[in-house]
Structure 1
Amino acid sequence: MRTQQLLYAAAGVVVFIMLLLVGWGLSHRGERPAPARGGFVSAVERAQAATVMLTVSGSGGNNDGAPMQMGSGFVVSADGLVVTAAHVTGAIPVVNLVFADGTVARAELVGADESVDVAVFRATPGRQLTALSFADSNQVKAGQPVVLMGAPYGLVGTATSGIVSAVNRQIGAPMDEDDPFAGAALRGPVKAYLQTDAALTAGGSGGPLLNAAGQVIGMASARESRGEPGAGLAFAIPSNVVRDVIERVKAAPQPQPTPR
């Protein structure tokens, strides 16, 4: 008799829990999960403060001394380290950095690895800078949302969005007949790019490619459009490659100023 009573009591508890679950489901029917707080807004705001346009005066036949747009870059340490694509600046040792708030700082080349298209500059802005952090590019997945920051056409702090279209995109040598990009506009030393459909336009090379948390997963390096207006694929150097160059540059002995 006691066993039967216990079974009835247990059954009653189960029914009660099921009714609670059904009631909760009905009350929340149609609700969608809340988006991450701020979405990409906070990530873009921080990245705008850390993204720069790199310029140099009086180059390229520009005789009036006005700055000439070169490309984009971003701050990677609060004390002034800035990274960009090596092809953006070439071997130029000194550039000007233009921030989104209009301030300008001088920066000197401290190291580069042209084999992976990464150059590192050090700025002396006289203030602490907003810096971006890196994520592990080995964890990047095709389909994840991304934002590409840069200074296309001199518009510093421009954000474009899209998804990661492919990872580990292999690009062979320029004359490789088996390379689908052979004979096309795309050229670059990196053999494993992140591919994205986020818009990359003139002056945007060197800008950071960000994940939803605002971390850098890549750096814009190349674009292929095959001459089709409004079309194009963007390719970014994986963040692990960029970070490795930065660490090697920081560890290398720096030249000391010549005593006067």
Structure 2
Amino acid sequence: MRTERILLAAAGVIGVLILILLIAAIARGGDDAPRVRGGEGFVTAVERGQQATVMLSVAGAPGGPDAMPMGSGFVVDSGGLIVTAAHVAGGMPVVNIVYIDGTVGRAELVLADEAADTAVFRTTPSKPLQALPLADSNRVKAGEPVVLMGAPFGLTGTATSGIVSTVNRQIGIGGAPDFEDGALRGPVQAFIQTDAALTAGGSGGPLMNAGGQVIGVATARESRGAPGAGLAFAIPSNVVKTVLDRAKAVMDGTAAPPMGAPPADLPAAPNQSP
């Protein structure tokens, strides 16, 4: 009998340990950021990002789509929705988009929110496009490794890496300094700051975590005269989600907000950037 009691006690202990391990596994599964295997780095994220990142240029520019590079953008829906920074689009109703393989398409503006510095374009692809998922930017923490994708200087598929320097960066309000070049003047809120290099033509590109999810859209830099160096800033993905939802409502015909009308819950955007 004593042996049976010992065995039953041991079984109970093992059962408790298994239950604890299961609870821990479920808790880890609740984190929406995909795990990255040791040694993998950004390889998978960059490969995915390259297929989804595009260069935007003025439609009909002399010399073809590469004549007047404007900036970067990325696909958020395989059916042809593309997100970029509103200042990159500059209010253009139609732009050319250039993919990593050199394929050129045309995209029409659906919605531009100047206050959030976010614009949504729509294209009609011949086949489903590689799209990037939007992460929950409220979960982003300083110190996380990130990769910034874009088409600086017209070089599509370019990747730079760094870390999240800080979150909820406020510039120009509450006594915070304005930058000398005016890149972030005005009542700007909730920027994600990173040291990943942002150069001319890279604005509008996705700032991604190591799992290949977009945590922000590149919008401005402060380099104090040193191209490619300094600090970069991104509009948080949760702000982008809000603008994207409004754009989808416009396409569905359930809403028709005026172009550039700033919603009350979104931060103001930078006035200048690369």
TM-score relative to the length of structure 2? 0.74
Are residue 170 (structure 1) and residue 170 (structure 2) matched? yes
Q: Which residue number corresponds to residue 44 of structure 1? A: 46
The one-letter code matched in structure 1 to 2:56 is: L
The one-letter code matched in structure 1 to 2:118 is: V
Question: Which is bigger in relative contact order (C-alpha 8 A, separation at least 6)?
Answer: 2
- Cα RMSD after superposing both structures: 2.5
Q: CA deviation at 1:185?
A: 3.3
Are residue 118 (structure 1) and residue 118 (structure 2) matched? yes
Rounded Cα–Cα distance in structure 2 between residues aligned with 1:111 and 1:229: 31
Q: Deviations over 1:214-247 (max 9, x none)?
A: 0000000000011135631000000000111001
Q: Deviations over 1:116-162 (max 9, x none)?
A: 10000001122110000011000000001000000001110100000
Q: Deviations over 1:63-122 (max 9, x none)?
A: 556631000000000000000000001110000100001101110001111111000000
Rounded Cα–Cα distance in structure 2 between residues aligned with 1:233 and 1:185: 14
Q: Any conservation in 1 of the 2:110–2:250 contact (CA below 8 Å)?
A: no
Q: Any conservation in 2 of the 1:57–1:67 contact (CA below 8 Å)?
A: no
Match of 2:223 among 211, 222, 225: 225
Q: Deviations over 1:10-63 (max 9, x none)?
A: xxxxxxxxxxxxxxxxxxxxxxxx94363311111011000000011465xxx5
Rounded Cα–Cα distance in structure 2 between residues aligned with 1:95 and 1:52: 11
Q: Which residue number corresponds to residue 181 of structure 2? A: 184
Q: Any conservation in 1 of the 2:84–2:120 contact (CA below 8 Å)?
A: yes
Q: 1:95 to 1:195 in 2, by over 3 A?
A: same
Q: 1:100 to 1:230 in 2, by over 3 A?
A: closer
Q: 1:201 to 1:113 in 2, by over 3 A?
A: same
3-state DSSP class of the match of 2:77? coil
Rounded Cα–Cα distance in structure 1 between residues aligned with 2:120 and 2:178: 28
3-state DSSP class of the match of 1:153? helix
1:174-213, aligned counterparts within 5 Å? 178-187=175-184, 190-213=188-211
% identical aligned pairs: 66
Q: 1:218 to 1:229 in 2, by over 3 A?
A: closer
Q: Any conservation in 1 of the 2:110–2:251 contact (CA below 8 Å)?
A: no
Rounded Cα–Cα distance in structure 1 between residues aligned with 2:248 and 2:185: 24
3-state DSSP class of the match of 1:221? strand
Structure of higher CA gyration radius: 1
Rounded Cα–Cα distance in structure 2 between residues aligned with 1:111 and 1:49: 23
The one-letter code matched in structure 2 to 1:56 is: V
Q: Which residue number corresponds to residue 10 of structure 1? A: none
TM-score relative to the length of structure 1? 0.78
Rounded Cα–Cα distance in structure 2 between residues aligned with 1:45 and 1:147: 11
Rounded Cα–Cα distance in structure 2 between residues aligned with 1:228 and 1:204: 15
Q: 1:41 to 1:64 in 2, by over 3 A?
A: closer
1:227-246, aligned counterparts within 5 Å? 227-228=225-226, 231-246=229-244
**Structure 2: which 5+ runs fail to align?**
7-35, 254-274
Q: Which residue number corresponds to residue 153 of structure 1? A: 153
Q: Which residue number corresponds to residue 97 of structure 2? A: 97
3-state DSSP class of the match of 1:219? strand
Q: Which residue number corresponds to residue 80 of structure 1? A: 80
Q: 1:69 to 1:188 in 2, by over 3 A?
A: farther
The more displaced of 100-109 and 35-44 is 35-44
Rounded Cα–Cα distance in structure 2 between residues aligned with 1:104 and 1:135: 28
The one-letter code matched in structure 2 to 1:151 is: A
